[in-house]
Amino acid sequence: MNPHSTAEHLWILKGIKPDTRRTFLQAGKTISCPKGHLCLREREKDPNIFFILDGKVQIYTLTKCGKKKILYILGQDNIANDSFLYDSNTIYCETMDLCHFYLVPRQILLALMEKDLQLMKSLFAYQEKKLARLERQLKNTVGSIYLERRLASKLWKLARDFGQPTSKGVLIDMDLTITFLSDLLGAPRETTSRVCKKLVGQGLIVIEKKKILITDMERMASFHKKDL
């Protein structure tokens, strides 16, 4: 684990009272989870809040047909849980690589929120930002938006959050299979495959061994915002 990806460096600790910080760090614990581990399951109860120290997770739900619908890809400086108040999950959280979490008991966190206004404000601000992100995603799922533009938008955001600059463009640092992308789009696998080929054909992306490289971030942004 990166020494800077520790509980002491968590964003939630900025500006809070010394006593709050001390209790927060004493009450929690750090855990590691391998790739493919289900940390949270829908309808199951968990007494802890999962702060992501490093690694990446996918947050998803299941449709009535049992198909996965990915809501978020989250990394460092995020919280895996969908709710602070209730211990019953409404989502699944699955690790995409080796991840480290800092677990804080929910009841202790709620008690600290009552005593420290800055802590409460930081958590509310985080939830509002997450909700705004979900609202933007819902706008991008309407039928009037072409699948090519939807996929381009999601890949651009992944490159922004998890990209590694190279001489040929920005490489998204995760395995992106057609099945995973279809779950991300909420579209059939065959349709997603055709959409990927269109983006490759237009020179926007390069796909090699489950890795996707965006050749030009500005051109990709222009494409998903107003089409070519």
Confidence of residue 86 (pLDDT cuts 50, 70, 90): confident
91 in helix, strand or coil? coil
Judged against a pLDDT cut of 50, whether residue 227 lies above it is answered with no
- Give the residue, 172 or 2, on which the prediction is more confident: 172
Q: What is the mean pLDDT of residues 7-14?
A: 94
In this prediction, residue 87 carries a pLDDT of 83
Helix orientation angle between 18-27 and 106-115, rounded to the nearest 10 degrees:
180
Token pair, residue 158, equals 């992944």
User: For residues 156, 162, 164 and 170, what is the CA-based torsion angle, rounded to 10 degrees?
Assistant: -10
Do 92 and 111 form a contact (C-beta atoms < 8 A)? Answer: no
Could you name the CATH architecture of 147-226?
Answer: Orthogonal Bundle (1.10)
63 in helix, strand or coil? coil
7-139 CATH: 2.60.120.10
Token pair, residue 52, equals 């992501």
Alpha-carbon distance of 168 to 64, in angstroms, equals: 41
Tokens 């600790």 identify what position?
Answer: 13
| DSSP letter, residue 144 | T
Token pair, residue 147, equals 């699948």
Alpha-carbon distance of 100 to 54, in angstroms, equals: 6
Q: What is the mean pLDDT of residues 42-67?
A: 92
Do 169 and 216 form a contact (C-beta atoms < 8 A)? Answer: yes
One-letter amino acid at 75 equals G
Judged against a pLDDT cut of 80, whether residue 4 lies above it is answered with no
User: Which pTM value belongs to this model?
Assistant: 0.79
In this prediction, residue 144 carries a pLDDT of 42
Alpha-carbon distance of 175 to 188, in angstroms, equals: 19
Residue intervals in the chain for CATH 1.10.10.10: 147-226
Residue intervals in the chain for CATH 2.60.120.10: 7-139
pLDDT tens, residue by residue, 87-134: 889 899 999 999 999 999 999 999 999 999 999 999 999 999 888 877
Tokens 């495959």 identify what position?
Answer: 193
